[in-house]
Amino acid sequence: MLSQRVKKTITDNPKKLANLIDLVNLPSTVREFVGQSQISRLGCFMRVWSYIKTNNLQDANNKNVVNCDEKLKSILLGRSQVELAELPELIKLHFPKAPK
């Protein structure tokens, strides 16, 4: 079930939801990482998060920090460490802005 807050956000701003779930043609770096030519922003974020968890890339001392390996660096602007809160914004950079 969706919370009241999520339902309200969806009904008040359907474009925001559409930006998360619309399929987009990916640039080559993200395409290689994800293994698909099209994916939604939400799907891409979920793939990146799954990759982080599978490869134990979260910092042992601070779980809010991700230690990037070479493959992850390729889509996160070459950074060696990234805060979890920064991940959505860094992934969003690879997706073209939707026309108004």
Ranges of the chain whose pLDDT falls below 50: 1
Terminal Cα distance for the chain, rounded: 30
Task: Summarize pLDDT for 17-34 with one digit per residue, the tens.
Answer: 555 556 667 777 888 888
Nearest to 9 by CA among 76, 20, 72, 68: 20
pTM, whole model, 2 decimals?
Answer: 0.73
Position 57 scores a pLDDT of 93
Question: What tokens were used for 5?
Answer: 């807050």
pLDDT at 20: 57
Tell me, what's the pLDDT at 6? 56
HEC profile for 7-75? HHHHHHCHHHHHHHHCCEECCHHHHHHHCCCEECHHHHHHHHHHHHHHCCCECCCCCCEEECCHHHHCC
